[in-house]
Structure 1
Amino acid sequence: MTIKTVGVVGTGTMGSGIAQTCAQNGFSVLLYDINDTIVQKALNGITKRLQILVGKGKITEKEFKESMDRIETCTELSEMKRCDLVIEAVPEKLNLKKEVFRKLDEICSEETILVTNTSSFSVTDIASVTNMPRRVAGLHFFNPAPLMPLVEVVKGIRTSKKIVNTLNQFVLSLRKEPVTCEDTPGFIVNRIARPFYNEALKIAGERLATMEQIDRIMKKAGNFKMGPFELQDLIGIDVNFSTTESVYQGFFGEGRFRPHYLQQRMLQSGKIGRKVGEGYFRYEN
């Protein structure tokens, strides 16, 4: 099938980033959230990011205007019936995601592809609340979506091969690299990433090194662009902790994926990263 109009449900960091990416690559975008204030805030954020790209000479004024013209907003989920593909990007809460998919299944045409941007929840489980699980898949973008080149195309147990093929072509049309994977806890990237974060938290918790030292070592010796604590602050400690919990539970308590109490304490304190100005490190601007 041909994808022309993409619906994005949720205007947080991931949702607005995905919407921007789709609009920049020629797709009409319908961006949904629960009220006008939230939607407008997301639209302002997309505008500012694109204006920065204009200032850096990465895109032209014409490309900026064309991208913004492709984005339409709404506060009624029923508007998603106009879309060929709907990408769910609501907060990482399984019951919330399932409720969204129940509604989308009733609203959208049988030809509409429904995908979740979940980083770790079971696509098969989410699809189980729909009448047509064959059209449900995972499309896991990474933060920040406009910059990160990889997208995981996750095949649920009942996802059709045709849908997987269509999504791979869609990702390529976004000038990104698709990788198809089975529906396992954490998929590929987040499964690999758990020890990156968890071992760093253990080292810090045992006072073998400071967070600053760990990040510096990983960047200097490991050639990572960001250290594990800096990266958690960027992603959001709340999001990272939720993913760790999900992977741990998905593998039925396998020890190597066990969350660390230090990360939980950060979440309890409200110091969850850049988005609030403070996480493991402070962010003045």
Structure 2
Amino acid sequence: MKRVGVVGAGVMGTGLAQNLGQCGYEVILTDLTDEILAGAAQQIRANVRMGKLLGNGGPEFDPELVRYTTDHGELAEADFVIENITEKWDLKKEVYPRLDAICRPEVVFAANTSAISVTRLAGLTGRPDRVLGMHFMNPVPMKPAVEVIRGWHTTDETLRTAEELLEGMGKEGIVVADAPGFVSNRVLMLTVNEAVYLVHEGVAGAEEVDRIFKSCFGHKMGPLETADLIGLDTILFSVEVLYESYNDSKYRPCPLLKKMVDAGLHGRKSGQGFYTYH
């Protein structure tokens, strides 16, 4: 594998393009508009500069390795494709048949999803055996492990191909079964949602909740700081998927979370969430 297609130039797609470029892979980064792609290129440059300043930038980044394009047809050149668009089924279901028509039959598709069924996505293609989940964590270049999700039809060969790519990126793949939320989000989203309920009910403020987790349990970030980093809109999408998938009231989204998302308070990316960012 030399050339990796990355679909979606949001926070995760941008981090992936940076990480892949630093590890010597050619990247085809696609999105809907040139403005989004220009923002991704700017963010990658900023991330690389900040990494150098902090002394943890990782391998040297060659900007020539990343191609930015709104033409998804260019993904025909990719040896592996990672899809990173918004966690909404109605959006994702439009992408996979298009990728299936564009890419060579042997190319593996990885869904970078935190909650949506990999088996269901694979069913949209003519290659369900070559579709799997790769749940990367944010920020991608700094995280050493990836949750790898095996769908119903995913073959051992597909898993080996994905593990080969992850090894080339300096990451460990941890394989889990395809179930809503998998391991990380089934636990994390429930924790974050419950932390929001604590603020909603006036049990504690956001700072107090986070301080308890950091001081008492040694977490680097509290659950509400984590929510701001991930994006409260993404948190809400994920909790709603879990609620709908399991029909279990423990996943009922907190009204405060819904209200904050409606108000545009999405966390770090909007400048305001449970904390203010400048």
Question: How does the TM-score come out when normalised to structure 1?
Answer: 0.94
Specify the alignment match of 2:266 in structure 1: 272
Q: Which amino acid aligns with 2:274?
A: Y
Q: Which amino acid aligns with 1:88?
A: E
Q: Which runs of 5+ in 1 are unaligned?
A: none
Partner Cα distance (2:190, 2:42) in 1: 36
Q: Is the 8 A contact 2:50 2:57 kept in 1?
A: no
User: What whole-Å deviation, never above 9, does each CA across 1:205-233 have from its counterpart, x for those lacking one?
Assistant: 22111111111111101211111111111
Specify the alignment match of 1:19 in structure 2: 17
Q: How big is the alpha-carbon RMSD for the aligned residues of Structure 1 and Structure 2?
A: 1.4
Structure 1 residues 186 and 125: CA distance shift in structure 2, 3 A: same
Specify the alignment match of 1:63 in structure 2: 60
Specify the alignment match of 1:256 in structure 2: 250
Deviation at 1:103, TM superposition (A): 0.1
User: What whole-Å deviation, never above 9, does each CA across 1:34-71 have from its counterpart, x for those lacking one?
Assistant: 122211110111011112223334459x923xx21211
Instruction: Choose the corresponding residue for 1:131, options 119, 126, 130.
Output: 126
Specify the alignment match of 1:113 in structure 2: 108
Specify the alignment match of 1:99 in structure 2: 94
SS of 1:146's partner is: helix
Instruction: Choose the corresponding residue for 1:88, options 83, 86, 99.
Output: 83
**1:147-158 to 2 correspondences below 5 Å:** 147-158=142-153
Specify the alignment match of 2:43 in structure 1: 45
Partner Cα distance (2:257, 2:33) in 1: 32
User: What whole-Å deviation, never above 9, does each CA across 1:65-122 have from its counterpart, x for those lacking one?
Assistant: xx21211111100100100101111111112111111100001100111111011000
Partner Cα distance (2:52, 2:145) in 1: 24
Specify the alignment match of 1:282 in structure 2: 276
Specify the alignment match of 1:9 in structure 2: 7
SS of 2:142's partner is: coil
- What is the count of residue pairs matched by the alignment? 278
Specify the alignment match of 1:222 in structure 2: 217
Partner Cα distance (1:41, 1:209) in 2: 37
Partner Cα distance (2:193, 2:40) in 1: 32
Partner Cα distance (2:218, 2:118) in 1: 33
Structure 1 residues 267 and 131: CA distance shift in structure 2, 3 A: same
SS of 1:275's partner is: coil
Partner Cα distance (2:190, 2:264) in 1: 24
Q: Is the 8 A contact 2:190 2:239 kept in 1?
A: no
Q: Percent identity?
A: 38
Deviation at 1:256, TM superposition (A): 2.2
Partner Cα distance (1:265, 1:38) in 2: 27
Instruction: Choose the corresponding residue for 1:32, options 9, 30, 36.
Output: 30
